[in-house]
Structure 1
Amino acid sequence: MTFRVLHTSDWHLGQNFYGKSRIHEHQAFIEWLLEQVTAQSIDVVIIAGDIFDTGTPPSYARELYFDFIVRLNQLHCQLIVVAGNHDSVAMLGESKTVLATLGCHVVPQALAMDQQVEQIVHVTNKNNEQAVICAMPFIRPRDVLASVAGQSAKEKQQQLQQAISEHYQSLADCAKARFGDDCPMIATGHLTTVGVSCTESVRDIYIGTLEAFPASQFPEFDYIALGHIHQSQRVAKTDHIRYCGSPIALSFDEWQQQKVVHIADFSRGKLSQVTELAIPCFQPLAMVKTEVDELESAIDKVLSLYGSTLKQEQKLWLDIELSNGDYLNDLSQRVDEVTQHYPVEVLLIRRAKQQKLQGLIEQENTTLSELSYHEVFATRLAQEDWSDEQALARKQRLTSLFESIADQALNPVTDEDSNEQASS
């Protein structure tokens, strides 16, 4: 007998991708996922954060979410949903009581230790096999820590890291006290761990001033299902601490990644194996880095990689980065002339990053549409002298402040969130 858990994360429902909706990709993924729940005899699905792309997702994204929950319940499969840094605590929390009647346990925020029982979910399958899930969402400092005046940046980091570790340990202790050691202990998380590989679509998130959490600080769990990093990977060379990655490519630099979900099998109360189940590519996209004169052959090469997988009338989304386009005034026109006879749609045309940044420093005519706000900030930092310890500390504070402001700009706090924060 085997207890099977499917681990997925970072759906980012409602994402707008250079003006393109991802609704059809997300619909196709959800259909595929529901098929796998039946085909793979899945007992529990875990979504480890970032269900939505913003705290105020469009109505169609909410419809996809609720429709998935209803249909998964019809398959007699339980669902655990934890919030990510993109998700609104208030929005996820408002429906959790209703969704609990459909076998869906939603954890929108980390709770005080005297309320942690709500983060512990005991699940049983049709063969009466059991598992305990310690559902930890994205952690905000106020959830686990009271601020102390006069602390240095390093002391704040150490205190916060210790508080997160203690919060996980408290969850584990509470779960063992309630259900014993005979069934698998599974934890979730939505954070950056030390040493992971990131892509451009992964926004740096700081829990207060803490940039990354050491894997060694996790308590003993049989499996830890993590979200936030969009590339599937093991953490600290372990088999039981894993990021499953996003189900679709959320930035062009993810185009060559094979997207997967993880299936964790538990036998006799212990993890027996973890399988990566490949997700089909529902919308082909590619990044092309070349020179203007070599663009045609570069597109031919990319199209040959997809072969016959392009469906009829489906177009390949392209990000074209040109290393010698800085002197051309009619760059877009030149690209249009080359691509008009190909089954492609060009979503982004840009100069190579090195040229863009150098152009910005030299006050050349670089347009803001070619630069991300991270690139503008990084370029400005590069013009300063960070050679001594005091300057490096200032750079860290500026970076942390910038990330906090950027996060608020992209995920504005709703009235519901403000009211909740005020009452907490």
Structure 2
Amino acid sequence: MSIKILHTSDWHLGKQLLKTDLHADMDLFFDWLRETLVSEKVDILLMSGDLFDQANPSQPALTQYYQFLKSLLPLQCKVIITGGNHDSTAVLNAPKALLSVLDVHVIGGAPEELSDAFITFEKDNQKVVVAAIPYLRDKDIRETIAGESYDDKIMQIKKGMESYFEQVNQHYLENHPNVPLIIMGHLFAQNAETSESEREIQIGNQAGIESRIFGTHAAYVALGHIHKPQQIGNQNTRYSGSPIPLSFSEREDKKQVILIEVANNELQIETKEIPSFRKLITLAGTLEAVQKKLSDYQSQTPLTDLIEIQIEEENESVVLINALEELLSQENHADYQIVKGKISFTNSLQNTGSLLRNGEEITDFKPIEMFEKRLEQDTALTNKTELLAAFKTLLTALDESEN
């Protein structure tokens, strides 16, 4: 007999993409996931952080979460959920005691006792232990020193992360020797390929943690935080990625979950592609070419596809700019919705200094994106890297004060 484990992460319940609510996308994913848990006879479901998109999730996001957990009750599948940098430890842990009765184990933040992060599962003569490590905040891994430099902070973060996972491995060796170990983590590993939807990654994860910190004892490392599915280091350390595209930079990603089977203390890994519930499409070219592509467009997905248009013309013209505005303001088509658009000219007039292009609104951008736009505009600045790092530090402080 074997133990089957499914690894997923970064659900970001409550997420909106350019004002489009992705609630329906996640409902369809949950339907598919539940069917997969049944068909694959999965024993343990791992969700490696960023359950919600906001620290204080909306009521619809909370309802969607609890309804999904309720739907799993007949499956007798153990569920292990860890908190991510988008999650509030307090919000995730609030129903922890009640959910544990339903075999749903939630570790919203680093526990006071490391042993509380270790969860064992036994089936017939096979056994595994999961070290459910959530997103580690500054307070969990280092002491803040007044006046420290950015480089000092990064070095201390790296040392703190390495020390924490050394303790994880030591606890495993002392308490669960010879049992296959699965480590869950929510962090930014070196060489991981990111997307636009991760621009708000806070300073701790800018450290770029080396995969060696997980040690040599883990049979599999189930990572969250990066939305593009990928392998880090050896083949047993992986990001499952987000189950649906969360930005247009992810439009080509093949979304997936990862299936792990443990039999006779040996591991087998396979990926299972998630169906596409809606497409994110970029249409580029002249105004005439884009209009032709829109008229010919036919969706093949159950949800309305989202389209960004990029008009490229030779000479700047108010007529062309107005035409773009009309496209952006038109009623939604049966097959698609235009959610973003910009126009560029080979021969443009002098820019007036505005940070936004035609068709863009300030609400379309996160604070870090607006700050990056402002830095790009000022060509005289020579310390942009330091300014960006300082701005991210401020965002981190605000984020952690909310959590």
TM range (shorter): 0.7 to 0.9
Question: How far apart, in 2, do the equivalents of 1:337 and 1:163 lie?
Answer: 50
1:166 aligns with 2:160: no
Contact 1:134/1:172 (<8 A) preserved: no
Q: 1:193 to 1:326 in 2, by over 3 A?
A: farther
Partner amino acid for 2:95? S
Q: 1:239 to 1:269 in 2, by over 3 A?
A: same
Cα deviation per residue 1:47-92 (whole Å; 9 max; x = unaligned)?
0111111111111211121122233232111011011111111100
Q: 1:264 to 1:403 in 2, by over 3 A?
A: same
1:233 aligns with 2:230: yes
Stretch deviating more after TM superposition (36-45 or 260-269) = 260-269
The structure richer in strand per residue is: 2
What displacement does 1:333 show?
Answer: 5.1
- Counterpart for residue 331 of structure 1: 323
RMSD of equivalent CA atoms: 3.0
**What is the DSSP-based 3-state SS (H/G/I as helix, E as strand, rest coil) of the residue aligned with 2:190?**
coil
- Counterpart for residue 241 of structure 2: 245
Report percent identity of matched pairs. 25
- Counterpart for residue 346 of structure 1: 338
Partner amino acid for 1:185? L
Partner amino acid for 2:71? R
- Counterpart for residue 117 of structure 2: 119
1:378 aligns with 2:375: no
TM-score, normalised on structure 1? Answer: 0.84
Runs of 4+ displaced beyond 6 Å: 336-342, 353-356, 362-365
Q: 1:168 to 1:209 in 2, by over 3 A?
A: closer
Of residues 266, 274, 278 in structure 1, which corresponds to 2:269? 274
TM-score, normalised on structure 2? Answer: 0.88
What displacement does 1:342 show?
Answer: 6.8
Contact 1:205/1:211 (<8 A) preserved: no
What displacement does 1:35 show?
Answer: 0.8
Contact 2:321/2:343 (<8 A) preserved: no
Stretch deviating more after TM superposition (7-16 or 287-296) = 287-296
What displacement does 1:353 show?
Answer: 11
Cα deviation per residue 1:103-143 (whole Å; 9 max; x = unaligned)?
1111111234xx10111111223x34211111111111111
The correspondence of residues 15-414 of structure 1 with structure 2, limited to 5 A, is: 15-112=15-112, 115-125=113-123, 127-149=124-146, 151-181=148-178, 183-208=179-204, 210-220=206-216, 221-236=218-233, 238-271=234-267, 273-299=268-294, 303=298, 309-311=300-302, 314-324=303-313, 327=317, 328-332=320-324, 334-335=326-327, 343-351=335-343, 359=351, 361=353, 369=361, 372=365, 373-382=367-376, 383-384=378-379, 391=383, 395-406=384-395, 413-414=401-402
Question: How far apart, in 2, do the equivalents of 1:287 and 1:226 lie?
Answer: 29
**What is the DSSP-based 3-state SS (H/G/I as helix, E as strand, rest coil) of the residue aligned with 1:318?**
strand
**What is the DSSP-based 3-state SS (H/G/I as helix, E as strand, rest coil) of the residue aligned with 2:207?**
coil
Contact 2:187/2:205 (<8 A) preserved: no
Partner amino acid for 1:109? G
Question: How far apart, in 2, do the equivalents of 1:5 and 1:332 lie?
Answer: 48
Q: 1:88 to 1:300 in 2, by over 3 A?
A: same
Question: How far apart, in 2, do the equivalents of 1:52 and 1:317 lie?
Answer: 22
Contact 2:15/2:53 (<8 A) preserved: yes
Contact 1:55/1:412 (<8 A) preserved: no
Q: 1:20 to 1:378 in 2, by over 3 A?
A: closer
Question: How far apart, in 1, do the equivalents of 2:25 and 2:266 lie?
Answer: 35
Instruction: Tell me the number of residue pairs that the alignment of Structure 1 and Structure 2 aligns.
Output: 395
What displacement does 1:379 show?
Answer: 3.6
Q: 1:70 to 1:376 in 2, by over 3 A?
A: closer
What displacement does 1:151 show?
Answer: 4.2
Q: 1:367 to 1:259 in 2, by over 3 A?
A: closer
Stretch deviating more after TM superposition (315-324 or 72-81) = 315-324
Question: How far apart, in 2, do the equivalents of 1:10 and 1:245 lie?
Answer: 7
- Counterpart for residue 422 of structure 1: none
Contact 1:361/1:379 (<8 A) preserved: no
Q: 1:341 to 1:302 in 2, by over 3 A?
A: closer
Question: How far apart, in 2, do the equivalents of 1:281 and 1:301 lie?
Answer: 21
